[in-house]
Amino acid sequence: MTLLAFQAQPQRSLRCQLTDHVRQLVLRGEVQPGERLPTTQQLATLWSAPVPTVHQALTPLVKEGLLERTPRLGTFVRARRLQVQRVAIYLSRDFLDNPQNAFGRALCAELQRLLSDRSIATEAWLDTRPEEDQYDAWPELAQASAERRFDALLVPGTDRDHALWLSRLPVPVAVLSSGNTPRRVTLQVRQIADLALRELARQGCRRVGVIGAVYPRSPNADGTPHESVAFWEQFPRTARALGMEWRPEWAIRPPEFDYLAKTTFERFGYDAVQQLWALPRPPDGLVVYTDFAARGALLALLQRQVRIPEQLRLVLHRNAELGLLCPVPASFLEVRITEVAAALLTQIDRQIAGEEIATTHVPFHLVPPAVPHQP
């Protein structure tokens, strides 16, 4: 049997090697649709591997639609669909109700447009359970995915803790998340410091600060740093590399983990500017993330009559399709919702094709200040 033709290599985990081995057998047609695989115990003996490792190795192939597990009957090679016909979109109640989540609602609209262009039906699954219950699997959604009532699941925004059970559903899943969850799409926040500080240096700034509506999270389950930590670590490192002055008091972040759940991002941006301008010597270049925090920051700067760009140069985050009303000259770090939606669908396509999936990072785009119109 071709399943026997396996030799483990020391460079990679045994689980990943076994997943790739069986995936290639299915894709090459060496095991046929409808064929029943040996039991997990038999495969463990064939491959000289622990039984739990074999079980974990086959699980991603069930999610990709290559294998199908039938209780009391076994694991079978699944007849693969060449085209996705129906996609579910998972939404939490907060995702829809939160007025600060205009990005998420615009992303949902773009996903539906792209899926409609492919003649793929969509259905929304609104999780109205209390927030504390959303850390556990939603039985109705889990049953629907097990019964293949939809071919794939899109999650246009969630944190890593909620995303864990979603990523375990037995269908291809693509998640927009800052946490290190499987099959995720994430914004490349590591770019922000480099793009923004280089732009401020180009404009002649020497003292730089940042207002970031980002709280540093604890490490991911695999021990890797959370993206929020990279966001804050990159600023002093980049500032020093560019020869710019950096002080800890010029970096304003939420004081505690759940601070932003108690207030608005606009209020955070407003209060952060007040905190900066209470200092004897504020920065002459300022980065503000996110766009809602930028709204509050702009209001405070105008209220304090800070002269822009004479006293202060700005780099603000905005979402390209939503824009940001900014009455003063500023540079922008743009996220394109069209690129985020396309990345989520590409993650699904790759899983359907049986490819090994890595995290997709969606870039920020620097937009310099507009050149003043000359009469």
pLDDT of residue 330: 97
Of the options 3.60.15.10, 3.30.450.20, 3.20.20.70, 3.40.50.2300, the CATH number for the domain spanning 86-186+340-359: 3.40.50.2300
Q: How far is CA 155 from the centre of its chain?
A: 10
Smallest CA-to-CA distance from 57 within 98, 5, 115, 13 is with 13
Q: How many CB atoms lie within 10 A of CB 182?
A: 17
pLDDT at 301: 97
Q: Count CB neighbours of 126 within 10 A.
A: 11
Contacts of 360 (CB under 8 A, 6+ apart): 184, 185, 186, 343, 346, 347
CA gyration radius, the chain? 24
Per-residue pLDDT at 138 = 92
Q: CATH assignment of 2-77?
A: 1.10.10.10
pLDDT at residue number 260: 79
0.85 surpassed by pTM: no
H or E stretch including 342? helix 337-352
pLDDT of residue 290: 94
The DSSP letter of residue 315 is: E
Token pair in block for residue 331 = 């540079």
- Give Cβ neighbours of residue 128 (< 8 Å, ≥ 6 apart): 93
- What is the structure's pLDDT at 357? 75
In this prediction, residue 141 carries a pLDDT of 94
86-186+340-359 and 187-336 share one fold:
yes
The pLDDT of residue 34 is: 85
Which residues of the chain fall short of a pLDDT of 50?
Answer: 373-375
Q: What are the extents of the domains in the chain?
A: 2-77, 86-186+340-359, 187-336
pLDDT at 374: 40
Pick the CATH number of 187-336 from 1.25.40.10, 3.40.50.1010, 3.40.920.10, 3.40.50.2300: 3.40.50.2300
Written as six digits, the tokens of 211 are 């207002």
Q: What is the pLDDT of residue 223?
A: 66
How many whole angstroms separate alpha carbon 105 and alpha carbon 95? 8
> Cβ neighbours of residue 115 under 8 Å, at least 6 residues apart?
87, 121, 122, 345
Task: Look at residue 81 in the predicted model and tell me its pLDDT.
Answer: 57
pLDDT score, position 233 = 92
Chain centre to alpha carbon of residue 168 = 17
Return the closest-CA partner of residue 125 out of 117, 134, 116.
134
Q: Tell me, rounded to whole angstroms, the distance of Cα 89 from its chain centroid.
A: 15
Pairing mode, strands 365-367 and 331-335? antiparallel
